[in-house]
Chain A
Amino acid sequence: MRTILFLLQKEFRQIFRNKSILAIILVMPVMQLIIMPLAADYEVKNINLVVVDHDHSTYSRQLISKITASGYFRLTDYSASFKEAMQYIESDQADLVLEIPHGFEKDLIREDEQQLFIAVNAINGTKANLGGAYIGQIIRAFNQDIRLELLQPGRINPLPTVEIASSNWFNPLMNYRVFMVPGILAILVTMVGGFLTALNIVREKEVGTIEQINVTPIRKHHFILGKLIPFWILGNVVFSIGLLVSWLIYGIVPLGSLGVLYSFVTVYLLAVMGLGLLVSTFCETQQQAMFIMFFLMMIFILMGGLFTPIESMPDWARGVAAFNPVSYLISVMRLVILKGSGFRDILPHLGIIACFAVVLNTWAILNYKKTT
């Protein structure tokens, strides 16, 4: 026990001496938490629209003003021909072209059916998909209005209709930041825990001080605990700062209990630090450790469900995601912070993460050799 205390003292001194790294540890997360949610706004709005109106009728004008009034679209320009409009798409100034054919209003009344042509720049699939859906909704509503206006009451029997009322829970304003902030907080905790532990031990290797520790009677698990505890505390501090920042700047207060959050994060930090330790036992230089951690983190973050839902992934990818600690943290953060889930709801997540922590740390201790 006394050995660990001395080791802890050493580690804390080293951390507090290196002022620039300490500043990076504490300031970077705050900066990221402020900038990332502002940048990572996937809400689809400001879809740039070019209209080719061959009809110039009351209806075509009504339709255009309905579309621009919806708030999703921004009218870039009117074009005389479709070809001209395509130039806007090619130069990325427009995302969507709406072409209203000649005689749209007249033929709609005379022939009962009229077509509208919509061309969407689909390089960005999400935007194209939602943009197409939005304009489709607006056209349907417009169509409904026209039908009511034109039909004299009593001409046909009312058709059986199913009215759909939809509501959005937990985030009624559909604010994208509410969704991103807990996820980014999860990423920060992971980065601080994983990178620092990995780099710290490899640095001792590279500088050569690990030899000095190896020749002392310090036991393997003493050494590793001495490395883990300081960063575990630091990780919790970063997490608390993150919660504070998300409350002060984005007004996001966890709906669930803080106790549930912290009990999960403390176990999670052990798991991700175990990963850092394991990587450090395989590496000789900081450059290697850095690259390997970067590589793993990239896979974890991309496949952790931060940007795209895990359930829409193919089976093999969902299998990989099951072994991804980051995906559990992201999901728990969102559950507890946004939906107020309780301890019983996250119990399965907690169990899996505890297994990760035990396996990774045991592996790291076994793999750490005192002799070279």
Chain B
Amino acid sequence: MTQFITFIKKEFYHVLRDRKTLLILFGMPVVQILIFGFALTNEVKNSKIVIVDEAKDEASAEIIGKIEASRYFEIEKVVANRQQIEAVFKEGKVKVALLFPANFSKDLQHQNKAQVQIIADATDPNNATALTNYLSAIIQDYQSGLNQTRAVPYRIVPETRMLYNPQLKGAHNFVPGVMAMVLMLVCVMMTAISIVKEKETGTMEVLLVSPFKPVLVILSKAIPYLILSLFNVGSILLLSVFVLDLPINGSLLLLLAESTLFIITCLTLGIFISIKTASQQTAMLISLMGMLLPTMLFSGFMFPIENMPFPLQVISNIIPAKWYYIIVKAIMIKGLGFEAIWKETLILLGITIFLFAISLKSFKIRLA
């Protein structure tokens, strides 16, 4: 046992000595939380709009005033004819154009009907849809201002409630995702690289000929990263509670227990990669391309799984991060208990045991 503790100490020295890597390990989750929390939103805000006012009358001026006053749009310029729209779009700053045909006011007054045209730059389809919706809402607002005196009959009033996340903040979706990604990065990549490094520099041989059990050599490598990862979980949770105001609705103890399970899954994965590879570069590339990328793609926090083609949906099931992501979302945001996530926990446990078994089987004491 004292032997084992000595080995763990040795590993800690290794980890703590490399200041630059350590800084990034702890800085990464903080920066990710800040970026995701404050910089990335799909919210429509300050979108540049160009207005083609062929009417130049009082109704068009009033609508333009309304647009100017809204925080969604920023009027880039008002141009006189519609041929200029394309040139403005090609410069790339303006995302939407609003066109008032000539005689806009007159049509509205005399025929009770007038037309406007919204032209959106649909290279970003979702943004185009949102902009068109917001612009339509402003125009409809103007219209109902005209109709104030008369009540519209047979109104259906939809009352919409946004559950769990009434302000539509992105945080609810990504905090669990960032947790999965950071744990994956620390555990899989760092463990794999640190074991392969001993192989590459030849110190593995020294360790293997010592009276210390080989399996314990590997385990002692994993433990510092387990502790580091728990620190990262703690810092992410603290940041999300105190900086992003995202409360933990479920039990904290359950969340930590599930996180530990996921960390162990990742560590086993890292150990498995290190057993199968011989050089640091290969280990890095495999963990990066084979693990991190699929985690980003298939865990469901950046890309919606239900939109993917069927084969990719099937593949997503073998990604441990997907299950962890579901678990964290259930506990943290929906505040559900263990009975809601036992299935996912079982799957994660199964993956861990499977990886552990094949690692143990392919682990060789003798170097080739």
Give A residues with C-beta under 8 Å from B.
20-21, 24, 28, 32, 35-36, 38-46, 89-92, 108-109, 112-130, 132-133, 135-136, 139, 142-143, 146-147, 150-151, 156-172, 174-176, 178-179, 199, 203, 283, 285-288, 290-292, 294-295, 298-299, 302-303, 307-309, 311-314, 317, 320, 331, 334-335, 338-342, 345
Contact = CB atoms under 8 A, between A and B. Distances in A.
A94 to B, nearest CB: 11
Contacts of A203: 281
B163 A121 contact: yes
B142 interface: yes
A298 B339 CA distance: 36
Contact of B42 (A39, A113, A312): A312
Contacts of B340: 90-91
A180 B299 CA distance: 19
Interface residues of B, number: 106
B163 A136 contact: no
Contact of B39 (A156, A199, A317, A335): A317
21 contacts: A46-B307, A118-B159, A122-B165, A125-B165, A130-B129, A132-B162, A143-B154, A146-B154, A158-B112, A163-B115, A167-B117, A167-B120, A168-B128, A294-B24, A295-B28, A298-B28, A299-B31, A312-B47, A313-B39, A313-B41, A335-B90
Nearest to B194: A287
B209 interface: no
Contacts of A299: 31, 35
B150 interface: yes
Contact of B41 (A142, A143, A167, A308): A308
B155 A112 contact: yes
B205 interface: no
Given A151-B153, A165-B117, 4 more contacts: A40-B302, A114-B155, A312-B44, A339-B89
B160 A341 contact: no
A150 B121 CA distance: 38
A340 B193 contact: no
A87 to B, nearest CB: 10
Contacts of B122: 168-172, 174
A39 B298 contact: yes
A122 B280 contact: no
A311 B46 contact: yes
Given A114-B157, A139-B158, A160 B113 contact: yes
B238 interface: no
Interface stretch (B132-140, B210-218, B220-228, B263-271): B132-140
Given A287-B280, A331-B92, A345-B91, A312 B45 contact: yes
Given A125-B173, A299-B31, A335-B92, A291 B21 contact: yes
A118 B158 contact: yes
B173 A123 contact: yes
A167 B130 contact: no
A209 to B, nearest CB: 15
B42 A308 contact: yes
Interface string B141-178: 01100110011111111111111111011101100000
A183 B308 CA distance: 18
Contact of B120 (A139, A161, A169): A169
A55 to B, nearest CB: 12
Contacts of A130: 126, 129-130
A93 B223 CA distance: 38
A288 B18 CA distance: 8
Contact of B304 (A112, A124, A163, A285): A124
B89 A169 contact: yes
Given A159-B152, A160-B147, A174-B128, A115 B159 contact: yes
A46 B18 CA distance: 48
Contacts of B282: 20
B91 to A, nearest CB: 5
Given A45-B307, A169-B119, A317-B39, A136 B143 contact: no
A289 to B, nearest CB: 9
Contacts of A165: 115-118
Contacts of A43: 125-126, 307
A245 B124 CA distance: 21
B32 interface: yes
B180 to A, nearest CB: 15
A135 B136 CA distance: 15
B43 interface: yes
B21 A132 contact: no
A115 B158 contact: yes
A327 to B, nearest CB: 11
B188 interface: no
B124 A179 contact: yes
B38 A314 contact: yes
B336 interface: yes
B204 to A, nearest CB: 16
Contact of A123 (B46, B125, B142, B333): B333
